[in-house]
């Protein structure tokens, strides 16, 4: 081979030598260069073929979040224990208390705020919970006899109040008894057929009595459970 090359031109000889050197370098590189021979960070990421680096070769925490493709990570890959409290969720801590407070307010004003043994429970608008029942906050618009007053309350599912409880209710904020006394449901004196007195309570919370045939204003007490 050398003798044959000797008969060739110098340029051809140089080309042949270069070819042998290149072939020898490629064979050497293929045999000698592996992953351990590559200096860390010497190969830029854009020189790597897609899918050529398996996930188990990536160091944890080595890829910043801004280098991840949008929607490339789902909730299944996120450890929720590492997440802090979401800002809007701070208010959720008191949501149950707020809901209970709202229910309590509704219980005062709504007809059916809750249920007790299958029955609607709550106080309608215009009434206030007191002594385990719903008391009308204002007296009747018109005066009536004691009998008619009792009938009106019965038609509403209630009754006339007891005297001492009406006195106590008159002490509640915003409660004012009608001038000229209000009827109660107590009958202290009976002097004959259809001739009896009924206990009354005045605007100044004084307890008295009046003939049932007289006309006075009244308020009804409605059961909490209907």
Q: pLDDT digits over 59-104, tens only?
A: 777 777 677 777 677 766 676 666 666 555 555 555 555 455 455 4
User: Does residue 168 lie in a domain region?
Assistant: yes
Q: In what order do the strands lie in the sheet with 127-130?
A: 127-130, 133-136, 221-223
Confidence of residue 20 (pLDDT cuts 50, 70, 90): low
pLDDT at 226 over 90: no
In terms of pTM, does the model score above 0.75?
Answer: no
- Three-state DSSP state, 3: helix
Q: State pLDDT tens for residues 124-150.
A: 999 999 999 999 999 999 999 999 999
User: In the prediction, which pLDDT does 50 show?
Assistant: 73
Note down the domain range covering 15: 1-30
Is 200 within the bounds of a domain?
yes
pLDDT at 223 over 90: yes
Q: What pLDDT shows up at residue 108?
A: 44
Q: Alpha-carbon distance 147 to 153, whole Å?
A: 10
49 is a domain residue: no
Give the chain's domain count: 2
The confidence score (pLDDT) of residue 80 equals 67
Under the banding of pLDDT at 50, 70 and 90, the label for residue 185 is very high
Does residue 191 lie in a domain region?
A: yes
Average pLDDT in the 105-133 region?
69
Q: How far is residue 104's CA from residue 78's CA, in Å, rounded to a whole number?
A: 40
Q: Is 179 inside any structural domain?
A: yes
Query: When comparing pLDDT for 183 and 56, which is higher?
Result: 183
177-196 residues labelled b (16+ CB within 10 A) or e (exposed): bbeebbbbbbeeeeeeeeeb
Cα–Cα dist 65/201, whole Å = 77
180, part of any domain: yes
Q: Classify strands 133-136 and 127-130 as parallel, antiparallel or unpaired.
A: antiparallel
User: How many Å apart are CA 209 and CA 189, to the nearest integer?
Assistant: 9
At 169-181, the pLDDT tens digits run 999 999 999 999 9
DSSP for 152-180, written as a single string: HHHHTT-BPPPHHHHHHHTTSTT--PPTT
Give the domain CATH number at 218: 3.10.100.10
pLDDT at 133: 95
> pLDDT-based confidence at 110, cuts 50/70/90?
very low
* Kind and range of the H or E run holding 15: helix 10-32
19 lies in some domain: yes
164 within domain boundaries = yes
């Amino acid at each position: 081979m050398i003798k044959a090359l000797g008969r060739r031109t110098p340029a051809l000889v140089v080309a042949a030598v270069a070819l042998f050197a290149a072939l020898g370098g490629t064979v050497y590189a293929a045999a000698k260069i592996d992953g351990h021979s590559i200096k860390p960070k010497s190969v830029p990421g854009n020189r790597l073929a897609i899918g050529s680096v398996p996930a188990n070769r990536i160091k944890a925490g080595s890829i910043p979040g801004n280098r991840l493709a949008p929607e490339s990570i789902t909730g299944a890959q996120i450890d929720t224990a590492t997440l802090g409290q979401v800002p809007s969720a701070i208010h959720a801590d008191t949501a149950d208390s707020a809901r209970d407070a709202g229910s309590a307010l509704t219980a005062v004003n709504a007809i059916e705020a809750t249920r007790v043994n299958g029955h609607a429970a709550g106080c309608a608008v215009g009434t206030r919970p007191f002594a385990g029942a719903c008391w009308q906050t204002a007296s009747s618009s018109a005066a009536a006899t004691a009998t008619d007053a009792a009938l009106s309350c019965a038609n509403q599912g209630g009754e006339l109040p007891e005297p001492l409880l009406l006195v106590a209710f008159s002490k509640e904020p915003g409660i004012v008894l009608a001038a000229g006394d209000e009827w109660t449901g107590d009958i202290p004196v009976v002097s004959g057929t259809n001739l009896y007195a009924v206990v009354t309570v005045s605007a100044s919370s004084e307890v008295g009595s009046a003939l049932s045939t007289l006309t006075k204003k009244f308020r009804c007490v409605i059961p909490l459970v209907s």
